[in-house]
Structures are given as structure tokens and as C-alpha cells.
Structure 1
Amino acid sequence: MSHEVFMGIDVGTSGLKVVVVDHNLHVLAWREQSYGFNAPYKGWAEQPPQIWVDAAVSAIRHIDWNLRQRVRGIGFTGQMHGVVVVDENGVPLNNALLWFDHRADMLARELEVVGPNGVAVDPTLPLAKIIWLRRNAAINWARARFIVGVKDWVRIQFGGSVLTDFSEASGTQMFDLEKKDWDRSLVALAGLEVNMLPRIVSSGVADGEISKQMADLIGIPLGCTLFVGSGDLSAAVGCLDLNEGDVFINLGTSGQVGMWGKPLKRQSVSRFADLQGQQELQLIPLLAIGMVTKWWSTIVGTKFFDFEPSHAEPPIVFLPYISGERGWNPHPLASGGFYGLRMGHRSEDLGQAVIEGVAMSIREAYDFLVQGHLRNQRVFLISSQQFGDFLKNDIAAVLGQPILMPRLVAPSAQGAARVAAHGTRGNDELVSTHSSDSIEMEGVEPLDLRIQRYRRLYPIFGYLRKAQWQVLSRNNGTRNSGNEVGMLLDDERGAAANN
């Protein structure tokens, strides 16, 4: 019926977003509720799970009551790689370990095993975190019944069951992408039984109806269907009409540079499943994107989006690794820093360097990802409208090519609402084909002056990043020396210079 509407809930790192769309997927309303995280020790990052539900209730209740009464389906998405251990009744036994929690760094280096997707054990993914929790007796494991992800725990509080989707499962490092199931050897390495993990289904699967308690609390009618949903990246990418070889750049608190299509199957490229486990997303994760701009805004006391562009001479180069890096050449001890400071530089010049440093870290990930592929493929920039508008010209310039930016107010939440809309109509085919529906797409052409500036800065950025990595590698014995990747990038830059 045309009066029906659909809701998407995105449980983010720094806040929760709720979007309501109609049958044509036009956004009718959206709200955001912010929250923080705890860092009791260096490298730790936690959130008490209840803050997500409290934020959802608050955000939803700020949407017009008449609109809420028309909601017929709710889709869920959220930050990936979180770990919530719950008892038989779904009560959390721990604060959730978030995706950028690094407490398992030493443990991951000790394990020295390679996961089923061809990537060394990552301390930020659930496999290493669960082993850390078990070794350190951090919770009462005698009471533990299930281990679930962030958006799945929130859906359970709405009346859902212990399920997850292919995209979320593929981000645990305990999932076999070829078999589309849990890898029993890695589950055993984590000290778990398979029945402690959720059953894996497609994102568009209905997971029952909203509970009476939650329906009464948020003003959603009984009978509203809950849909399993997906990880935040897959939800956002699901809004696009992608072809094999297309590249997408997803910007949020963190970021990802990814490619749609056949598996690349090489070290440092993460492989994740899409909404239904039928296709793969090849990813280079980047730890510091929105996190960096928020950090700088806090230091100078100005909203980042209010900064005026600066073109300081001589230019400043900024390394954005304020929380380490987990990307194509990861190092948890990597740090941020400014290079080239002079007496005449102002805070605006440093702010511009922050923007350019973020853009150049994206370029390095892009270079590594597309090696051996044609450079004229389509590139999509996925972000909130405000953040995307702020960075789009720099990203087009640093890549030296046009980009496409879908006009989305909250990409992941809209993707979750889209799953609910199609699922309610029983239209699984639309969910799996990644139809872009009625989304407006903006083309962004790179500006010549910005291209020339990045051609000057990018080699310096690469040199500084490699120099820091080499020092850290010698001093800390990490296996990620970066020499092979560094030579690869040098070859690419040399080829570009000769052309």
C-alpha cells in the first residue's frame, strides 16, 4: 500500500541514525543521536551496548508520530567487527569491543596464522578479540551463550532472534567465503563451538516482528517486520548499481576503498561478502577518516566543515595515522604528524594539510587496490552529503579522475531501509542486484590547480609514510616492513612520471 513506509537503523561508532523512506525510497525523515566510547587503557575502545538501544529509542521518538505509525518494516545495519558476548537471555556480559580496539595487537602477531580469506590475523577483527577475552578471563564464560555483532544485538532487543548476515559474518575472520559458512577450524581457534555464533542468512530475510514492549516504547505498530540487515558498508554499497571493476570509496568515522567483482586473493586486501553472499567486496580499510577531521576540529574549536580552503606555500604534509593504521600496509604504532611547518603558517594551513593527508591516504589505498587493473573504471564516493561535499573535490583531484557521488543523507541507514522496503514487498531480486533505484548521482570533475598541487605533495607523503614504517619495523619487529608495497608504488609513480 502506498501509505506504508520503511525504516533503516544504522548503529554507528559515534552515533545512531534512523531514516524513514517511502515505496520509491525517497527519504521522508531522518534523525541522529550521538554517543561516545570508552578507552580505559591505551588501544582499547568499548561501548556499553545499552547506549545503542537508548539512542535508537530517542532518535525514533523524535520522528513524527503519524509517520511512525505507518512503518511496516525495519532494516538494521551498523559498525562491523564489534564483539558482544551475551547470556541465554541476550544480556551482555561485557562492554562491546569496537572495530578500532587494538588490545589484541601482540596476540595477533603471536598467532602468525593466516585466515581462510588469505589475510593474516587482524587484531581489530573478532577472531583475535575473542581469543584475547578468553585468555584474559575478562568475562564469565560459564554464562556465555552467544557472541553477536553490534547491529544484530540491537535487532534482538527489538524482538529479533540470534541471526546474522553474510556481510557481517565475513568480517569476523571466522567465515569461509567459498563455503559461505563458519570456518570450524578458526571457530575452534577462538575457543568456541559453532552453536555459539549466529546462524547466517541473507540480509533481506525477515526476522519476526517487533516486540510489544518495543512497539509501545517507540510508537511503531505491532506487526512491523524486522529484517536481518547487513554491515554498514554493504548496506551503503547496496544503494549503488555497480559493475565488475567499479571502485567505491566509503567515508565515515573510518573509511574503505573497495572494488566490486572477482576476488583479488592477495595479502592486505580484505574480502567481504555482499548483502546475500553472492558477490564479494575487495577492501582496503582505512582507520582514520572522519576520526581525524573530528580530532582536528576539537583541537581548534571550530567545526571542520566551516574551514576556509588554504593553499599555503611552502605546503605542509600531514600523516593522518593518529590511531595507527589497519589498511593495505597496517601498523598499530603508526602515528600522525605535520611536516614542513614554518613560522608563517596558520591554523587554516594545518587544517588544509589534514584534508590533504586524508585524501592522499585514500590515494595510496586506491593505488594498491587497482594495481594491474585499468585506471579508467568508475569511482563512487559514498558519504553523508555534508562530508562528501566537503571532500569530493580533493578526492577527485588526488585521484586525477572524475568521481560519482550518490546524494545520500545517511548512506548505510538508507541502505538498511531499502532492504526493509524490498523485503516487505517480497522482492529479493532487487536486493541482490544492487539497483540504484531513484538515487540522484552527482558527477565531480577534478580541478586542474588541485591536481597539480597533489602531484607535488603525493610523492612527499609517500616518502614520509614509508620512512616512518621502516623505523617502526626495525624497532618493533613487525612483519609489515612495507618494502614490497613501497617498491610497487615507486614503480607506479615512475611510470606515471614517464607518461
Structure 2
Amino acid sequence: MSLRGHLGIDLGTSAVKVLVLDDEGRVLGRAGRGYATRAPRPGWAEQSPQAWWRATCEACREALAASGAAIASVGLSGQLNGFVLLDADDEPLADAVLWLDIRAEAETRRLAGAADFPALTGNALSAICVLPKLEWMRTQRPELLARAARIALVKDYILLRLTGILATDPSDAHSTALTETGGLNWSETLCALAQIDPARLPPIRAADEVAGHLTAGAAEAAGLAPGTPVATGAGDVAALAVGCGVVAPGTTAITLGTAGHVVAEAPAADLPAGGGLWQIPHGVPARTLWLGLIMSGGLSHAWMRSILGAAAPISFEAMEALAADVPAGADGVTFLPFLEGAATPYNRPDMRGSFFGLSSSHNTGHLVRAVLEGVACNARECLDALAAAGAGTREVRLAEGGAQSPLWCQIIADMLGRPVDLIDERDTSARGAALLGYAAAETVPIAELAAKTLPIARQYEPHAVEMQAHEESFARYQAWCRRALPG
């Protein structure tokens, strides 16, 4: 009897990651492939949908070969707030516009004055959302938008290539700002703002529902079996919540990918205005996630590593050793991790990263330590904002790339002053996608499946001496943040 596997595909901002899990949630194989982002003009960000598909097929074949499993299900995840315009034959009319594309800032301001978005959607309108980008298309590229028979979101384009069916889930749909609270139906009111016919948008289906089955052509391209069921899947944040086991009130996850997320399950509510918190539908049907965002989480570490390695490459372990030689509080050096602007709690895209408190007595170890502590401070701000808004934060979990650093995990536990559990998985959105496919194919409750297969590697307990040092460094960090706010 062959080993059964469940394949998850996460189409991220810089790469696709593919994971194969067994029935117990153990990883059997994984692979990844990168693709380029184009910036034709400042503030623009585009990718080739065809490059997504090629990368996905290559990664699927590699992960499948490593797993030795027969794939019983496929699930999907992907970057939120990107879209592809499709012609009548479902061929892309142009490159995809990504979430980090901010060309529609003027349209965002205009639309925000035309409707009460917090009341309608639970969130303030942002330039990263699909709605203002479609309004930009309507006014700046009307001929292109007019040729679009359908509009696909990022992961949904891969669903279309795999199954021939276009559909989306509530988390992806709601993030566009084209659905009202709950994300179950396209809003005629919101679609009308950009003169978008809701019929051009994909049907909205549950994340843990079978959306279609692999076509013969797609199966051959990806190395899979024709007829394999494919779940609708969820946007990357909703999928990572599933992958981190954030499936009950009181559970929270902090992820340290390129961007960092702090997610908690909580009921839909009126969140505080201007606090940089968002809410989207969960990958678990009929549930809601609250979200805080660290714009430059793992990115801050990668940036520091690139600077230190300019003359000769420096390893992750060597950076960790440099930081470990510096005491908690980095001897007064403070880093503000806003290399790409500040999200939670400041909601200021114009805020920028900075080092403060430097003197000639400080060295590279102080800089690295300050970067780790600065990101931990922003994670604490996100957690505090969620708690103040009413989200339970009884259990805190850590995951993704930066969480592979024992020192960083310990710094976060000390900064928060509470135990944190390390999840033994660096690709939590791909894991969540695989679990959604598993749940869809086997009609198993996704919350139950996510909870029982959660891989906890270890727990980090806060240290009393370092906790006190970090209370002082957190106060210093917040004081510098107040000074650094533009205007």
C-alpha cells in the first residue's frame, strides 16, 4: 500500500513553496521555486502569471519525488491582493499586479471618501487592496480593463490552471475591499465604486471545499494524477493561521517571514480606527482572524545580513553568534524595523527604519542584536494592539524563517514576558494549504485537523533578568518611534 500524501501550494511574493504532508501532518517532501518581480515604474510591482505556473509545476514535481507519496489531495494558498486580468479564453492580458504595488494611492484617497469602508468591511481602505487598483485600471488603462472577461486573484489563477475552474475563498475575496464584512458575497455597492460587474469576479466558495479536480493536462505538467481533488484554499494569512493551529479563541501566532504577521482568532467586530489592525475571514469557515502586520520582519534581518556580507558572505549562524555576545537591550542601541513603512500600530507607510543610540563603543554585534530586538518590539506592539481591541492572546506561537533562530525566539519570549511555543514548520501557509486540501477531500473538520496535527518543537520561557532589560528597551523603542513619526 503506497504512502498517502496531501500537497499544499503557497504562491508567495517571491517564490512558490510546495509541501507534502502525510495523514498525521508530518512533512514528507518540500520544494520551492522563485520568480521575478518587475517594477516598470516607482511604486509598481508586477509578476508573470505564466512564471507562477512554471514554478508551481517544477516545485510540485520536486516535492512529489522527495515525498514518495501518492497525492490524495491538493490545497492552495497565495499572496493576498494581487490580481490577473483574463480574456475570454482565460489567458492573461497582462502581468499580474501585486499587493505591494501602490500605484493607486490617489484612487485610494478618493474612494475612501466615497464610502464608509470601516462600517462596510471592518477595515480601512488601503492602496494595497484590489479595489483601488481596479479603479486605477478603469481610469488609466480603460481599454485593457474592458477586454477582461474575468478577474482572477493570485492563488485562484493556479486553481484555474489546475482544474479549469475559477473560484476564490472568503479571505481572498474580503481582502480586495470588494466584499462587506464576512466576505461571502461580492458587494454591489463596493463593486460599483470602480464600475466592476460582480459577474467578472470569481465565485466565492469555502476554503475547505473541493473546488475542482486536476485536469489531464495540468496533472501531466505538475507530475500529479488526473482527477485529484483540489480545495479552494485560502489567502496566505488565513492559511498560515490554519498551519499554526490558530483555530480557537485565545490562540495567537507570530510569524517571522519577509513580512511578519501577528494573527489571532476573534469574532468580527469594529476595530479601533487608525490602529493598523485588520480583520479577514479565517480559513476555518464562519470564523474571523484579526491581524497585526510587521512590514519588515525577516526582511530586517535579511537586510542586515546583506550589509554585513557585502565584502564576504556571512552565515545565519555567524550573525546569531554576533548578537549572542551582546546583552539584552543591546547596550542602548535601538532599531526601528520600518524599512518598508510602519503598519501596526502606526499605519504610516511613510515611516522609515532607523538606528538610535549609537556610539563608538558599539560594534556589529550590537547592530544585529538591535535588529532582532526591534522586530520583537514591533511584535509586542501588534500583540498589545490585538489584546486592547479584545482578542484573546492566551497562547502565543512562533513560526516561519526567523523563528529558526533560537536567540530570536528567546528575545521574543523575554520581550513579551510570557512563554512562546515554536512551531516546527517554516512554511506555515503551505502547511495550511495542504491541510485545507486534506480536509476538503476527506470531509474532516479543518479546525480539528489543524489542532491535532500541530507540530510544536519546543517552548521558550521568559528569563526574569532579560525581561527587565527588555521593559527598558521597549520603553526606549516607543520613545524613539514617537520622535520618528513623520509630520
TM-score exceeds 0.5: yes
Match of 2:144 among 110, 132, 140: 140
Q: Residues 22-421 of structure 1: matches in 2 within 5 Å?
A: 22-63=22-63, 65=65, 67=67, 70-111=70-111, 112=113, 113-115=115-117, 116-137=120-141, 140-178=144-182, 180-239=184-243, 240=245, 242-266=247-271, 267=273, 268=275, 269-301=277-309, 302-307=314-319, 308=321, 309=323, 310-311=325-326, 314-371=331-388, 373=390, 377-384=394-401, 387=404, 389=406, 391-421=408-438
- 2:306 and 2:397 mapped to 1: Cα distance? 29
1:459 to 447, 469, 475: 475
Partner of 1:19: 19
Counterparts of 2:301 and 2:67, CA distance in 1: 35
Give the match's secondary structure for 1:436. helix
Matched residue of 1:401: which SS?
coil
SS in 2 for 1:127: helix
Deviations 1:280-329 (A, max 9, x none): 10112222112222222222223445312242663211111111123332
Cα deviation for residue 272 of structure 1 reads 0.5
Greater mean deviation of Cα atoms: 239-248 or 213-222: 239-248
- AA in 1 matched with 2:41: Y
Answer whether contact 1:83 1:130 (CA < 8 A) is retained: no
| CA distance in structure 1 between the partners assigned to 2:64 and 2:32 by the alignment | 14
Q: CA deviation at 1:177?
A: 2.1
Counterpart-to-counterpart distance in 1, 2:426 and 2:477:
32
> Offset at 1:241?
5.6
Q: Is the Cα–Cα contact under 8 Å of residues 264 and 282 in structure 1 kept in the other structure?
A: no
Compared with structure 1, are the counterparts of its residues 136 and 78 closer, same or farther at alpha carbon in structure 2 (3 Å cutoff)?
same
State the alpha-carbon separation in 1 of the partners of residues 389 and 134 from structure 2.
36
Conservation of the 8 A alpha-carbon contact between 2:19 and 2:63: no
Alignment CA distance shift 1:9-1:186 (3 Å): same
Q: What SS does the aligned partner of 1:170 have?
A: helix
Partner of 1:445: 461
The root-mean-square deviation of aligned C-alpha atoms, in Å, is 2.4
Deviation at 1:404, TM superposition (A): 1.9
Against the structure 1 CA distance between its residues 99 and 176, is the aligned structure 2 distance closer, same or farther, given a 3 Å change threshold?
Answer: same
Partner Cα distance (1:360, 1:138) in 2: 44
- 1:327-372 CA distances to partner (integer Å, 9 max, x unpaired)? 3321121111111111232222212111111111111121122116
Shift of 1:162: 1.2
CA distance change for structure 1 residues 440 and 42 in 2, over 3 Å: closer, same or farther?
same
Any conservation in 1 of the 2:241–2:283 contact (CA below 8 Å)? no
SS in 2 for 1:201: coil
Q: Structure 2, unaligned stretches of length 5 or more?
A: none
The whole-number CA distance in structure 2 between the counterparts of 1:12 and 1:237 is 15
> 1:386: how far off?
5.4
| Higher deviation after alignment, 90-99 or 396-405 | 90-99
Report how many residues are paired: 469
Name the CA shift for 1:393/1:122 in 2 (closer, same or farther; >3 Å). same
CA distance in 1, matches of 2:101, 2:67: 38
**Between 202-211 and 67-76, the greater mean CA deviation after superposition:** 67-76
Cα offsets for 1:385-412 (capped at 9, x unmatched): 8546453112111111111222224211
Q: Aligned-pair distance for 1:138?
A: 7.2
Say which SS state the counterpart of residue 163 (structure 1) adopts. Answer: coil
Q: CA deviation at 1:258?
A: 2.4
Q: Distance in 2 between matches of 1:236 and 1:311?
A: 33
TM-score (norm 2): 0.90
User: What is the Cα deviation at residue 52 of structure 1?
Assistant: 1.5
Question: What code does the residue aligned with 2:260 have?
Answer: G
Amino acid at match of 2:174: S
Shift in Å, 1:433: 4.4
**TM-score (norm. length: structure 1):** 0.88
Amino acid in structure 1 at the alignment position of 2:454: I
Structure 2: which amino acid aligns with 1:360? C
Could you report, residue by residue, the CA deviation over 1:80-136 in whole angstroms, capped at 9, with x for unpaired residues?
Answer: 111222212222223222222222223322333432123221111111222122222
Q: Deviations over 1:426-473 (max 9, x none)?
A: 32xx2144641232323211123432232121112112212222xx2x
Q: Within 2, Cα distance between the matches of 1:418 and 1:328?
A: 31
In structure 1, what is the Cα distance between the partners aligned to 2:308 and 2:38? 23
1:477 corresponds to which residue? Answer: none
State the Cα distance separating 1:43 from its structure 2 match.
2.4
Amino acid at match of 1:220: L
What SS class does the counterpart of residue 381 from structure 1 fall into?
strand
**Are residues 171 and 69 of structure 1, via their aligned partners in 2, closer, same or farther at CA, if it must alter by over 3 Å?**
same
**Contact 1:211/1:222, CA 8 A, preserved across alignment:** yes
Return the offset for 1:164.
0.3
1:283 and 1:66 mapped to 2: Cα distance? 34
What CA distance in whole angstroms lies between the structure 2 residues aligned with 1:330 and 1:347? Answer: 30
What's the offset of the Cα at 1:10?
Answer: 0.7
Please report how far the alpha carbon of residue 74 of structure 1 lies from its aligned counterpart in structure 2 after TM superposition: 0.9
> Could you tell me how far 1:64 is from its partner in structure 2?
5.1
Give the one of 400, 425, 439 matched to 1:422: 439
Q: Hey, what's the Cα distance between the residues in 2 that align with 1:42 and 1:303?
A: 32
